[in-house]
Each structure stands twice: as structure tokens, then as C-alpha cells.
Amino acid sequence: MKKWQAFAAAGCLALSAAPAMALDQGDMLVRFGPTWVMPNDDSGAVSANGTAIAGSGVEVDNGVALGISFTYMMTPNLGVEVLAATPFSHDVKGKGSLQGEGTIATIKHLPPTVSLQYHFSDFGQWRPYVGAGINYTTFFDEKGKGNFAGADVSLKDSWGWALQAGMDFDVNDRWFVGASAYYIAIDTTATIRAGADTVKVDVDIDPWVLMVGGGLRF
């Protein structure tokens, strides 16, 4: 027991002794780690050849990919961030009166986002920040599934706003760990064409995005 107490005390001393490195103008921050997209989706009714299907809708499941972001500090407090990632994959499922259809399509997307960040100072090794910006989401590799297998599926690309909040913790003068959360407005129209039939639905995906991992300061 005494050994564990000694280890804990040594760890606390090491953390308290680590230098608090304030950000400087011209610093570049690179963050990387697993990134989850968790849709807060809301869809309109699905229409078939222009006629709405009563009680119908769709939902988009969660996706995870490797995220990376780059922040350039214009001042010690203001930075510009570019968020990128490897492609996210999602299943699109019927809901309501279409719940029995199960997965009707699979899609991939990339959501690059540019944000202006404000980094708070005077918190020692902790570096909280908030940001707001603009997102562009492009969809690709859409495929019909189930009763829609082989159909032509397309989703309209989206422009929207984004908000974020995050926290970094300095391990030393170069490395840090942290987490950030984003809320991104992503609105799209999905179109499925099978022969002479056309199915459409408007979807507000509006996901929460969570990124955790490490970072490096240059």
C-alpha cells in the first residue's frame, strides 16, 4: 500500500512540476486520434415518384475514423483550425413505416471543417478552447442495399456551420493530449433511382463529432 501511495505522490509531483507552455504567435498544433461521428438526424418523409410515404423516414448510424486537425496560432489566443479525417462509413436505415426495410444504403463521407478558435490562457498545463466555423461535407461511394441493391444512390453535398469546444493538456513543451467536441450542421437530399422509379428524402444529419488523442506543437 505504501508503495502505491509513493507512486501516486511521485506522479502528482511530476505533473505539477511539468512546465506550463503558453501558446505563441506562429505555433502550429497538430492533433490526431479516433474520431466518432454521431448523427443527431431528422428526416422528412420518403417520397416515391413524388408521392410521400406516410410515416416514413430514414436514420443514419454512427461512424468512426482517424481524425487529424491542424491549428495555426495567429496570436497567442486566436488560431485557425482545419479538421480532416479518413472517410467515415455509415449505414442508412429505414424508420417508421419503412423500418422493416432495414439498411437501405451505405455511404461514405468526408467533412472538412475550417474554424476560428479562441484559446484561453492562465490555466497552467490545461488549455481550453472554443471555436466556430464552416463545414463542407462530400458524400461518395453510395450503394443501395436490401430491396435497393443495385440501384443508383446519390447524396447532395452540404455546406453548413460548425461549433466546437475542446481541452488540451501539455505533457511537455512539444507533446500534449486532449479531446474536442463539434456540432456540425449537415443537411442533404438522398436520391435513389431504380429503373423508372425515383425515391427521395431530405435528411438533417447534424452530428456530434468527438475526437480524442494526442497532439504535437511545432
Q: How much is the pTM?
A: 0.85
pLDDT tens digits, residue range 167-205? 999 999 999 999 999 999 999 999 999 888 999 999 999
CATH architecture, range 2-217: Beta Barrel (2.40)
Mapped onto helix, strand or coil, the DSSP state of residue 11 is helix
Domain spans in the chain, listed from the N-terminal domain onward = 2-217
Rounded Cα distance between 149 and 170, Å, is 50
pLDDT tens digits, residue range 152-176? 999 999 999 999 999 999 999 999 9
Pick the more confident residue, 132 or 148. Answer: 132
* Ramachandran assignment for 45, one of left (phi > 0), alpha (psi -120 to 50 degrees), beta (any other): beta
